[in-house]
Structure 1
């Protein structure tokens, strides 16, 4: 009988809370012993980086331990990082990420690659004026009364027993979502202050995205930018892809057609597919260019 070759043990991303500009911040990360690059991942809204743990782990496996990866969450978007009686705008969250880079990555000697999701792509995106969903979300975020009502409802649901909360979330989202994604929603989104923070950031996002994308900036960096669109994603409609291809033809554009949704991080298959896509782009456009 031949000897069995033991498979390497799978590594899991670690999570921790660190202070950035005085605010508690959630990180999900891998530290490579011999990295050739560092990937910084920034989520959209909600900015709960633990949603993307499977995605970050799949990215790390793609690079076979040669990349350090850090995912950073938004201030006050989780129960652990909640700041009482304060909300944070889109610009506040951007400043927070800049402060993190200065604090943690300033002296990094290897390339730092930024991977961002949806509105974290500002100033690359603009509001989808043809989306009823965006109109509805914007309507709620603009109303202090409705925002407070939605936040209060979330808080009330959060008072239910854990099993009941998880059951309701599962019934609302469908069976394809992972148990960890359901638990993250039940733990963090069913809180008054986190929901207020998310809705206030949404309000300021819509204010910023009412303007056209910063085409001059995009054109100046187009050789360094790659954007993945969904086949049917109102946050990044294909009409925007067409506009980018005209305004900045050297931006690498791709469309996902495998059936994964905007919430790809909440399914194992979606997390792995997007991680494979992103990793292959980095290998081709960054690593191969340096060898």
Structure 2
């Protein structure tokens, strides 16, 4: 198929689209192949803001030489629509969504958008999107042929002080409210928001990621959903990963870990290698991090890694 070689003919910009899934307005970022042999569905982490992954989506499509359609699906209530001079921010009218509800939302996408296609689906998930992808794989195994988890968040890391602090924050409704109001205040003035993002969390980010942070992340409804969903993640991840499913499908699963990633620690790498030894496991050692999609170099390197895995997968189908 000629995968993995870069061709400017296949350098196409991802297009945003909004659709209604079971009553929930949903943001998509997609590139449609004219003659696809497979459909790649990318599920983000938390925050589920797909604009953070624009460079990754475009790089992956290009590396696959236009042989695959690529869709990134955002989480419910994590986006902003601007029509002229009017912005529509909170489509869900203040409702907050659990991890389980976000999983059901992704299953609905396959059911309503991809069910009538004979093209196989490959799931790619980042961080908690890896867990969501596994659950989607279970419920849509008739469509999904392979899954790649990037810097996966599947279980709690008791050794991480950052996780401990975030867990305490998300467990308190009062702290969640205060933090959400504080973040929303920072985002009220566009000039301030860009300065704050570039001087704090986004000092090394690409322009694409900075724009996504300013336009989507510094919003009251977004941060409330980020923290509420995180609370339900911590509750769920006190359980062990589903080793039975991983063992039963290990030839269809791959994970990429980072060197120093508290969300996807290397002890999880070791546990997977013991419990499901045929799962494809890799460690990224190029100096990227959990937020790989926030840099052009990280987006490109991870896209290359995923494209290589997909090529190997297709050779066995």
Fold similarity call, TM over 0.5: yes
Give structure 2 stretches of 5+ with no counterpart.
1-6, 82-88, 135-151
Q: Indicate yes or no: 2:293 matched with 1:265.
A: yes
Q: 1:103 to 1:144 in 2, by over 3 A?
A: same
**TM-score (norm: length of structure 2):** 0.86
CA shift digits 1:255-283 (9 cap, x unpaired) = 00000011110100000000000000010
1:168 matched to which residue of 2?
196
Distance in 2 of aligned mates of 1:242 and 1:143? 33
2:228 is aligned to 200
Unaligned runs of 5+ in 1: 1-5
Return the alpha-carbon distance in structure 2 between the equivalents of residues 189 and 176 of structure 1: 17
Where does 1:55-66 land on structure 2 (aligned, <5 Å)? 55-66=56-67
Match of 1:132 in 2: 161
Report deviation, 1:148.
0.1
What is the rounded CA distance, in whole Å, between the counterparts of 2:193 and 2:123 in structure 1?
35
**Residues 11-32 of structure 1, C-alpha deviation per residue, up to 9 Å, x if partnerless?**
1111111111111111011111
**Cα distance between partner residues in 2 of 1:9 and 1:223:** 30
2:106 and 2:207 mapped to 1: Cα distance? 29
Residues 159 and 44 (structure 1), Cα distance of their counterparts in 2 relative to 1, 3 Å cut? same
1:98 to 107, 110, 120: 107
Q: Is the 8 A contact 1:178 1:267 kept in 2?
A: yes
> What RMSD, in angstroms, separates the aligned Cα atoms of the two structures?
1.5
Structure 1: which 4+ aligned runs deviate by more than 3 Å? 6-9
Q: Do the aligned partners of residues 7 and 151 (structure 1) sit closer, same or farther apart at CA in structure 2, a change above 3 Å counting?
A: closer
State the TM-score, normalized to the length of structure 1: 0.94
The one of 275, 287, 290 aligned to 2:314: 287
Q: Match for residue 23 of structure 1?
A: 24
2:259 alignment partner, one of 225, 231, 235: 231
Shift, 1:174, TM fit: 4.6
Is 1:113 the counterpart of 2:142 in the alignment?
A: no
Please give the alpha-carbon distance, in whole angstroms, between the structure 2 residues aligned to 1:258 and 1:211.
Answer: 31
1:111, distance to aligned residue in structure 2 (A): 1.3
Sort the Cα spacing of 1:8 and 1:120 in 2 relative to 1 into closer, same or farther, 3 A: closer
Does structure 1 retain, via aligned residues, the 8 Å contact 2:197–2:203? no
In 1, the alpha carbon distance for the partners of 2:103 and 2:116 equals 20
> Within 5 A, what are the aligned runs for 1:1-20?
8=9, 10-20=11-21
